[in-house]
């Protein structure tokens, strides 16, 4: 079924797609006249590497827009070096370890990637990125340089780890550490930028380290589960042996028809592991105040829970890369503009998972317990089921949610305006169609 057919068969998603395209306005518009040639090139590189991610970055508050864009491009350049298997390790390892020092230069580029490497332009035109990097506030530059140093060295360590290269990730502890280097550090840097810009609660970085770490791990683990078939084809292994060995002798066994059921059980076990980060995700989102930054953080997370529900008990994961529908993406983007909307999205997909887990599944009991814990945490966020006359407990998470609710109330006005415009537009459309029909009847 094509994209149009999918939308027509899912009316709510069709409505969301139309509202997103016709009625939703970005919080902050780009000022084309203020763009330098280098900044224009940076924006072009963003779109080349990830069109959907670029559009979200471009809607950020001007205070952080360029900082986040440059942060993303620097890490994308780093990843392009690490991911290209044609680069000799004698060149790759030192380059990864010293990549942060390139940020001190006025000009630098690298053309040693394979001609077929899709993101090689980020390295070829790295001087444009450097020009804009040096225009950022010193404190933002410091954060980007620090995270680049940590990530580059982490990547180099994994390349030199013979056991990892031969056997993949072994323990769940190894799994978490790998996800820390490729995603947790991104959350680290982003959180520092949010706090420095005064766009989140002050305690989000120093006192709640596990929150931004879990944000990154939740996203990365969801991607790793989904990418089983693709990674297997590329000769890579990121599912931890501590988990998959409970269900098969070899990781590749799951691709065989006779091992499908065990493969599903393994997927569900990995989903259970990923769900352990959800409470932190919701706590983190409740701590972000500035609206464009909230949306920037929320959209990937709601996409992740939707993807987690899609891969759960799904045998297709063992043979192909599954993705949520475009219409679903549109719906999630619109609904995730408020914390309440994000919570409802998580509840919907968690209940969907709970509904589909079978008693025969080895993770059945643990999945139900984990979902119950998350539901209990959500209740503690809002405390709306209290008996009459009982006052809510002024817990830290409750206070954060109440603070965030003030910002949600402002977004609700925008949502109502969009709904009104959609209804008017839809009514006019139906009227025109009816008029044409009766005119030619």
DSSP count for the chain of H helices, then E strands: 23, 0
For residue 36 the two structure tokens come to 């330098």
What is the C-alpha separation between 300 and 12, in angstroms, rounded?
20
- Asked whether the beta carbons of 284 and 244 are under 8 A apart, the reply is no
For residue 128 the two structure tokens come to 């444009």
* Phi, psi at 123, each rounded to 5°: -85, -40
- Asked whether the beta carbons of 355 and 347 are under 8 A apart, the reply is no
Return the SS3 of 200. Answer: strand
What is the C-alpha separation between 84 and 89, in angstroms, rounded?
10
Instruction: Give the active site residues.
Output: 178, 226, 236, 296
Rg of the chain's alpha carbons, rounded to an integer? 23
Q: How does DSSP assign 43-70, residue by residue?
A: HHHHHHH-HHHHHHHHTS-HHHHHHHHH
Residue matched to tokens 């006025």: 106
Q: How does DSSP assign 278-340, residue by residue?
A: HHHHHHHHHTB-SHHHHHHHHHHHHHHHHHHHHHTT-GGGGTS-----HHHHHHHHHHTTSHH
What is the C-alpha separation between 131 and 119, in angstroms, rounded?
19
Residues in the chain: 441
CB count in 10 Å sphere of residue 24: 17
From residue 255, how far is each of 8, 320, 348, 349, 381 by CA, in Å?
33, 10, 30, 26, 41
**What angle in degrees, to the nearest 10, is found between the helix axes of 209-226 and 185-196?**
140
């Amino acid at each position: 079924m094509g994209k149009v057919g999918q939308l027509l068969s899912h009316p709510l998603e069709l409505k969301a797609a139309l509202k997103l395209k016709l009625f939703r306005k970005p919080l902050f518009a780009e000022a084309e006249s203020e763009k330098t040639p280098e900044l224009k090139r940076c924006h072009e590189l963003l779109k080349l590497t990830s069109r959907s991610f670029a559009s979200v970055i471009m809607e950020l508050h001007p205070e952080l827009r360029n900082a986040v864009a440059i942060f993303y491009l620097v890490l994308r350049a780093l990843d392009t070096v690490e991911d290209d298997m044609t680069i000799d390790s004698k060149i790759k390892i030192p380059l990864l370890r010293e990549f942060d020092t390139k940020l001190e230069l006025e000009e630098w580029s690298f053309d040693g990637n394979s001609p077929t490497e899709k993101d090689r332009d980020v390295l070829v035109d790295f001087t444009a990125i450097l020009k804009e990097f040096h225009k950022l506030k010193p404190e933002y530059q410091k954060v980007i340089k620090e995270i680049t140093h940590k990530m580059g060295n982490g990547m180099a360590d994994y390349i030199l780890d013979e056991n990892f290269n031969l056997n993949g990730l072994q323990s769940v502890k190894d799994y978490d550490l790998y996800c820390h280097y490729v995603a947790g550090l991104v959350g680290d840097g982003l959180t520092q930028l949010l706090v420095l810009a005064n766009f989140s609660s002050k305690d989000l970085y120093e006192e709640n380290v596990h929150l931004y770490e879990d944000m990154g791990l939740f996203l990365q683990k969801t991607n790793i589960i989904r990418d089983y078939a693709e990674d297997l084809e590329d000769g890579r292994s990121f599912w931890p042996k501590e988990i998959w060995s409970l269900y098969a002798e070899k990781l590749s066994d799951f691709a065989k028809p006779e091992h499908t059921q065990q493969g599903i059980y393994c997927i569900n076990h990995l989903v259970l592991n990923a769900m352990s980060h959800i409470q932190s995700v919701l706590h983190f989102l409740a701590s972000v105040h500035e609206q464009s930054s909230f949306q920037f953080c929320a959209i990937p997370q709601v996409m992740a829970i939707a993807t987690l529900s899609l891969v759960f008990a799904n045998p297709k994961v063992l043979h192909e890369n599954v993705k949520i529908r475009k219409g679903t993406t549109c719906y999630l983007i619109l609904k995730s503009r408020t914390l309440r909307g994000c919570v409802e999205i998580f509840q919907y997909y968690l209940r969907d998972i709970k509904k589909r887990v079978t008693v025969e599944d080895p993770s059945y009991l643990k999945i139900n317990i984990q979902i119950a814990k998350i539901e209990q945490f959500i209740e503690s966020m809002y405390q709306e089921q209290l008996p009459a006359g009982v006052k809510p407990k002024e817990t830290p998470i409750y206070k954060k949610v109440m603070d965030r609710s003030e910002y949600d109330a402002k977004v609700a006005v925008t949502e109502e305006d969009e709904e009104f415009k959609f209804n008017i537009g839809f009514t006019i459309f139906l009227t025109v169609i009816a008029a044409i029909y009766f005119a030619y009847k």
